[in-house]
Amino acid sequence: MVSEDEHKAQAAAPETQAEELKKASRAGEPTIDLLDETQQRAAAAYVAYVEAERQLERAYKEQEAKAEKAYAAALEQARKESVDAIASARKSYDASVSQARKAMEDSLAKARQVFDESSAQASKTYEESVAQSKKQFEDVVARAMKQRDEAENKARQQHTEAMAHTWNVFTKARR
């Protein structure tokens, strides 16, 4: 933009030029002085126009540089946020996988424990059942043996009695 000193110089220039014009008119060369004054004003206007264009171009370039800088900063911020989001998602994923693995291992451990307890219970039930069956078998065998012994004793006793009776009958018949 135009600095204050340049602006003051441009504002003062027409007054100085007007004073010079008055001095020149008095000297007797009004036409040449007017032409010079017009040319000077045109030249000053052109210089001011060129300076304004330069200032506009500088301002445009500054705005363009600011826009580029803001664009680069926005890209960097977006990249950084993307990297952060990916890192956060990776961390969350890893934590979820870790929790799932731990839950699976805990479930497997519990399943093994339940299996072991069930196996132990089944083995215990089997052993108790075998022991009870063996006891029942031994009881039945013992009763059967006792009944057999009793039947044999009874049969022996009846045989002995029958033999004794037969002997008595035979000895009586012989007499």
Boundaries of every domain in the chain: 4-132
Question: What's the pLDDT at 85?
Answer: 95
Q: What percentage of the chain carries pLDDT values higher than 90?
A: 57
pLDDT at 91: 95
Which one has a higher pLDDT value, 152 or 89?
Answer: 89
Global pTM value: 0.42
In Å, how far from its chain's centre is CA 18? 80
Return the pLDDT at 12. 47
Neighbours of 76 (CB within 10 A): 10
Residue 116 reports pLDDT greater than 80: yes
53-67, 105-119, 158-172 — which is least confidently predicted?
A: 158-172
The whole-number average pLDDT for the span 111-129 is 93
d(CA 9, CA 11): 5
Per-residue pLDDT tens over the stretch 31-85: 566 678 888 899 999 999 999 999 999 999 999 999 999 999 999 999 999 999 9
Tokens of 92: 């969350």
- For residue 1, the model assigns a pLDDT of 45
